[in-house]
Every structure is written in C-alpha cells, then in structure tokens.
Structure 1
Amino acid sequence: MRFLLVVPPLAGHVAPLRGVAAVLSSRGHSVAWCGPEPLLSTLVSGRVFPAGGSAPFSLSLRPPGLRGFAALKFLWESYLVPLADAMVPGVSSAVAAFEPDVVVVDQQAMAGALVAARCGRPWATSASTSTELADPLGTLPKIASWVSDLQAGLRARHGVLLGDLRFSPHLVLAFTTRALAGECRLAVPVSYVGPALPAASGEWSLVDDRPLVVVTLGTSNDSAGSRFLAESVDALAGMPGVQGLVVDPTGSLVSESVLLARRIPQVAVFSRASVVVCHGGHNTVCEALSAGVPLVVAPIRDDQSMLAQQVVAASAGVRLRFDRAKAADIRKAIEAAPGYAPGAEKIRKSFAAAGGAQEAADHLEALG
C-alpha cells in the first residue's frame, strides 16, 4: 500500500507521524510526505513532495505578544487558510504522481483534506493534539461560526463539498487517550492510539541523587518566555532539596545552583525527572506523562490552555498563569506537583496500553 502524509512544517505536528511512517515502512508499505519545502525536509526523512510554494509559512512570524482571540485570529487568517490555499496545487500533484491508497492529513494541513475529498481518496485525520476533539469553541458560538465561514470559503474556492476539514469522516487518529483527553462528542470515528513517541536517546548526567525538576518551554524564546525561565531559575535556586534543570534556548541565563542547557534529549531526561514544568505543548505533556511524571503547566497560547485544563482534570498536575507567575508561585507549584503523581501514573498506564504508532498503522492499513 501507498500512504501520503500531508503535514505543515511544524515539528510538533510532524513528530507523531514520523513514528507511524517508520512502522508502515517496516511493514513493506511505501510512504511519502507532502508539505512546504525546504522546511519539511529538515523534519522528516524519505521522499518529500513539495507543496506550498516559496512562501515562508512559519508560526515564528506571529507577533509574540498575541494571546486569546488575537492569537487564534492570526493562526487562522494568516497561517492556516493561506497555507491550505498555497498547498492545494502541490498536494494535487503529489496525489497524481504517487497515487496513494490512503492520504493522512494533519489537522493544520487542510489542503490534504481538500484534495483527498476532491479526488475521492480515503483519508485519515492526524490529530497531533487532542484539543480540537474537545470542541474548544463549543461555548463560543460567534467564534465557532467565524471559523466555519473561513472553512466554507476554502471549500468553495477548491470545489469541495465536505464537512469540517479538520475531521475525516473515515478515521481520526488521536495521539492521546481518553484518560487524558476525555470522551469525544464529535460525530466522527475517533481512534485513541496514544502518543507515538520517539525512543529515548542521548545521555544526560545528573550531578547528584536529588529529585530532578525540569523546566522547558519548547521553542518559545520571546521576552515573555525568557522572563518565565528566569523566574524558574530563581524558584529552583531557593529549593536546595531538588536538582533544577532549566532549558534555555538562548543561553542567556546564569546560575550557580541550577543546571542550564540550550537543549536536552527530552524523553531520556523526563524518564529520570520527578516534576516537569512546561508550557503545555502536546508532545512535551505526553512525553512527561508517558514517564508518569506530574506536571506544572503554564500555557502560553493556542491549544496549550486546553491541554493544561485536561492535565488538571486528570489530576496529573497543576496550572500556572504564564504571564504572571513569579518565582514564589513557581516554587509553590513545584512543591505541590508530586502530590499528583498517582494521576500521572494513571495516564502513563493508559498511554502504554493504547498502542501508539503500531496501533495507528493498524488503523491506516484497515482504511486502505
């Protein structure tokens, strides 16, 4: 069988499908990727079909101070919709050249849904984050209607009669579990396959045997992120009973008592951590909970607030205000987090039982 994976050039959205692609390839299937170049080739290996032209589609162009509806408005009007329009010709060419049996479409690469529907190809949604499944705009009818109108414009421009482009009527692969995300109330076939995480790689030497507390905001390195990391360093410096590790991508922080690193082998380090403080990125949350590590979540924007809510609802961690948290607030949250270890362990068990990349591959094979 032949599988075409249509994705945006975003590491967090590509990451779960890399594991699925590896499983499909190991089973003898042909797998190819489709998305904006040259960015996509820095994130994946194997055959890549370009789609999106030369436009610099990157969320890094978003003004860093945007929050709430302003951030959502930018995401849809300045990224998702233009990306979909730009990718359609390339995806169409890829489908014609590769002739896939199944098209796998990330939720933020709606061109894949448009082309698959137009060509009558079976297609599956890759839900790299669970927040859309929770219908976050369900209580915000005006915003939901605005998003619906944007999608209607996309469908009209590309001659497609289809429902919500974010949800395949054939199969939605949710890289989470019900234990964390809760039940999906949408009228689509959802398979909860759990996170498809990379194998632990890389080494990290701990200085001593104290409990390890890791602070990371992923790739967020604007002024607000720098402020939060600096406050975290101050918080950990006042906690001699733990070994603090702060991931500082800029290398601008200085501390005599807290470990600092520009990057870490996250899966390997989290397996040795007692608490993880993060921004609520889906991959980071899942990597921590896959190790049964309780979380302190300080969401910044987009789906992170919903993920923080899911973590709290699952009793797997605590939540902080990213813009307002001071060292004392962060220290208090870190001290409270170990009490949520039972909830984190429950999520870990649900992830282990879900099947991950192997289970996702099984569903895709059945779809073809």
Structure 2
Amino acid sequence: MSRYLFVVPPLFGHINPLVGVAAELIARGHEVAWAGHPELVRRLAAADAQVFACDVPSEVDRPAELKGPAALQFLWESFLIPLAEVMADGVRTAISSFEPDVVVADQQAVAGGLMADGLGLPWVTSATTSAELIDPLASMPKVAAWLDGLLNDLRGRIGGGAADPRFSPYGILAFTTRELLGEVEVERDAWLVGPSITQRPAADFPWEWLEPGTLTVLVSLGTANDDAGARFLTAAVDALAQLPVRAIIVDPAAVLAETPSNILVRRHVPQLQLLPHLDAVICHAGHNTVCESLWHGVPLVVAPIRDDQPIVATQVVNAGAGVRLRFTRSTPAHLAKAVEAVLTNPTYRESAARIAHSFQTAGGAQAAAGHLEKLALG
C-alpha cells in the first residue's frame, strides 16, 4: 500500500479530474489525502475524505475586460502567487503528518510542487488543461522571464525546490489525448491519460422539460465567468429563439430576465447527466466542459474568453469537432449560424465521436492511477 497526497487549488475544474484518480487509488488499496480547501474537496470527492486544510486568499474579482497578457499577469500576481503563499504552511503540515510516497500537485497549486521538490519527494503535476503542454509562452520570452522571476521570488519567501513547480520532472498527468491535442510537439514527460470523468451527485432538474426527438442545446460559460457573460448569454437567447431547438442556459448570476418558451434558464445544471440528451454545447472552451462534451460525442460552439481557453478552442476547431466564435463580438446571427452548422453538418458530430472513442480508450483515472503506482514503487 502506498500513500498519495493531492494538492489542489480551490477551483472546481482542478479538483474534479483528480476525484476519479483518488477513488481509483483507494479502490486499489492505497491511502489518499488532500491538501486544499476542506469544504470544497469534501463536496466534490467524499464527505469523509482526509483533508489537510490550506488557507485561501481573499476573493479577488478579475475585471471582465482583461484579456491576453494582462489577464495572465492578473492571474499570477493577484491569485496564483498569493494562493501559493497562503497554502504553503498547510502543504508542509500535510506532508509532515501524512508522509506521502507521492505528491500529486495541481499545476496552479504551485506550493505543492515547490514543497515536494524541496523535500526530495517524488511528485507529479496534474495538468487539468492541455494548454501548458504546448508551452504557450514560447513565443513570448519576456513574459516567460517575468513568470520565472515571480516563481523565484516566491521560492525566496516560502522555500521549496529549484524545479519549475508547474512541470514535474517525474511526470505530468495530462487529461487529454492526441485526438484533441493535435500533432503538436509535447516536450514534457506527459502521460496522455484522457479525461477522468466521474459522475457527480445528481442535482435538481426538470427532466420532463426535455422533448425526445427535439434538438437540444446547452449554453454554459463555466463557474468563473459570471462577470463577463451577460452580453453573450443575451445574444444566445436571441439566437436560439430563432431555431427549432430546445435550449438550456446556465445563468449563475441571474443576468437573464424573461426568455422564450423553448429556452430554460437555470442557475446550475447536472451537466454530466444532461450531456447524453444534448446535440450541441455552446461554451467558453473551458477544458473540463470541452472534454465532458466530447466524451459524450457532443459537438461544440466555442467562444473563448481568456487564459487557456483560446488554445483549447483552437484544438476543438483543428480536430473538426466544433466552430469558434469571438466572445466579445458574437451577435445573435453569428451564434445562430454556428449552432446550425454543428447541428446540421454531420462531420462535426463524427469528429466528436472520434475524440470520444480516444477518450474512453485512453484509460482516464485507471491509467493515471497506474502511472502513480509505478512511481511509488520506484
């Protein structure tokens, strides 16, 4: 039996892929603990999960207009670096108390990689998005140097090893496959295990609203884009009202007022349970939403906002599984045309089905657990 410590940020999309991996390790007789936000981890993993509490920084509102390098700068300076600083003590305590054989550190919980490397422990990076695997800063050396400087300064304050905490030299769990990633060069020691899809607890939903035989579309901008979504969601309502479809729009911030009878607005939906009933998904190209949709062979309309989303959107388009729109300039006409394309052109669904097959045969949580077991055995 081996012990595995999962270090995660307080972000749904970064915890969810590891939930299945943790469950698989436990099923194989290993012991698992977490370092992170206890309430969030236990809600997503298990109510009785062993969690070493880590502090989180005060909530930071990122201005909706920030894009590109400005959004990246804000992300690191105002969230990821402060997060690492406040998590460091909790991660140290977790390692000292739990004595793991292997640490699995999310790419955005950089305190995990730093602490494990500094203590000489085997550690693996959890890359919940494939964007970093293709070195997105390769063409921006000044930005890359700036980020290296931030990480060096962080080491000086909290300690840790010399390795880049985003890329473990022991290996990277990459929850994707070549069919979506494309034939780009991946220089890192990445294990392409495919998505780790774990059913989440069922949520309340009016299932009787669905009509068998009627095309159904989901619109979701994820859990971190409430501030940027009002105009886009309004345009989506106007577009979908014109089409012979039923549409479900996820609107956590309640920005929408009245909608036509063919559109259902919900603050939250049980996305995994809904996907088998859907014919298309309109989203922000968040890696989890994209992978969960493609796992079910559902084609996409992607309108990336910032961060890794433009890279993931490019992967979807290059793989033939969807249409890309400009988030800030999408009109009802643009949205209606894109939705019609993915619903009526069979090549999009065929490409989505091809990626689904690659996902379902890559191994997911089982393959990830296998790599972690080998590392623990040395």
Q: TM-score, normalised by structure 1?
A: 0.94
- Aligned equivalents of 1:28 and 1:200: distance in 2? 22
- Aligned equivalents of 1:183 and 1:114: distance in 2? 31
Shift of 1:28: 1.4
- Aligned equivalents of 2:190 and 2:278: distance in 1? 32
1:185-213 alpha-carbon deviations (Å, 9 max, x no partner) = 45432101110112376463313421111
Aligned counterparts, 1:38-53, within 5 A: 38-45=39-46, 46-52=49-55
Aligned residues, how many? Answer: 364
1:94-150 alpha-carbon deviations (Å, 9 max, x no partner) = 101000011000000111111111111110110011100011111111111111221
- Aligned equivalents of 1:161 and 1:195: distance in 2? 29
Aligned to 1:3: 4
Aligned to 2:179: 179
Aligned to 1:65: 65
Q: SS state of the match for residue 323, structure 1?
A: helix
Letter in 2 for 1:362: G
Shift of 1:257: 2.6
- Aligned equivalents of 2:44 and 2:293: distance in 1? 22
- Aligned equivalents of 2:130 and 2:164: distance in 1? 16
Q: SS state of the match for residue 191, structure 2?
A: strand
Could you list the runs of 5+ residues in structure 2 that have no partner in the other structure?
A: none
Aligned to 1:55: 57
Quick one: which of 203, 207, 232 aligns to 2:236?
232
1:235-292 alpha-carbon deviations (Å, 9 max, x no partner) = 011012x222222223433222322222211112111211110011111100100011
- Aligned equivalents of 1:348 and 1:302: distance in 2? 25
Letter in 2 for 1:24: L
Change in 2 beyond 3 A, CA 1:224/1:248: same
Check the 8 A contact 2:116/2:160 in 1, yes or no: no
Check the 8 A contact 1:278/1:284 in 2, yes or no: yes
Check the 8 A contact 1:230/1:253 in 2, yes or no: no
- Aligned equivalents of 2:39 and 2:197: distance in 1? 24
Aligned counterparts, 1:267-286, within 5 A: 267-286=272-291
Check the 8 A contact 1:224/1:323 in 2, yes or no: no
Q: SS state of the match for residue 277, structure 2?
A: coil
Letter in 2 for 1:86: V
Check the 8 A contact 1:174/1:193 in 2, yes or no: yes
Check the 8 A contact 1:133/1:184 in 2, yes or no: no
Letter in 2 for 1:55: P
Check the 8 A contact 2:118/2:162 in 1, yes or no: no
Aligned counterparts, 1:206-221, within 5 A: 206-220=210-224
Q: SS state of the match for residue 239, structure 1?
A: coil
1:205-227 alpha-carbon deviations (Å, 9 max, x no partner) = 31342111111112245453021
Aligned counterparts, 1:76-95, within 5 A: 76-95=76-95
Change in 2 beyond 3 A, CA 1:208/1:353: closer
Shift of 1:7: 0.5
Change in 2 beyond 3 A, CA 1:222/1:199: closer
Check the 8 A contact 1:318/1:337 in 2, yes or no: yes
- Aligned equivalents of 1:75 and 1:221: distance in 2? 14
- Aligned equivalents of 2:364 and 2:234: distance in 1? 36
Check the 8 A contact 2:138/2:144 in 1, yes or no: yes
Change in 2 beyond 3 A, CA 1:327/1:297: same
Shift of 1:165: 1.4
Q: SS state of the match for residue 64, structure 1?
A: coil
Shift of 1:41: 4.3
Aligned counterparts, 1:310-349, within 5 A: 310-338=315-343, 339=345, 340-349=348-357
Aligned to 2:149: 149
Shift of 1:157: 3.5
Could you list the runs of 5+ residues in structure 1 that have no partner in the other structure?
A: none
Establish whether residue 117 from structure 1 lines up as the match of residue 114 from structure 2: no
- Aligned equivalents of 2:74 and 2:30: distance in 1? 38
Q: SS state of the match for residue 138, structure 1?
A: coil
Check the 8 A contact 2:313/2:324 in 1, yes or no: yes
- Aligned equivalents of 2:275 and 2:266: distance in 1? 14
Check the 8 A contact 1:2/1:101 in 2, yes or no: yes
Shift of 1:154: 2.3
1:47-81 alpha-carbon deviations (Å, 9 max, x no partner) = 110123x632x4x5222332221111111111111
Check the 8 A contact 1:221/1:249 in 2, yes or no: no
Check the 8 A contact 2:44/2:200 in 1, yes or no: no
Quick one: which of 348, 353, 360 aligns to 1:352?
360
Letter in 2 for 1:329: H
Shift of 1:183: 4.8
Letter in 1 for 2:356: R
Change in 2 beyond 3 A, CA 1:94/1:273: same
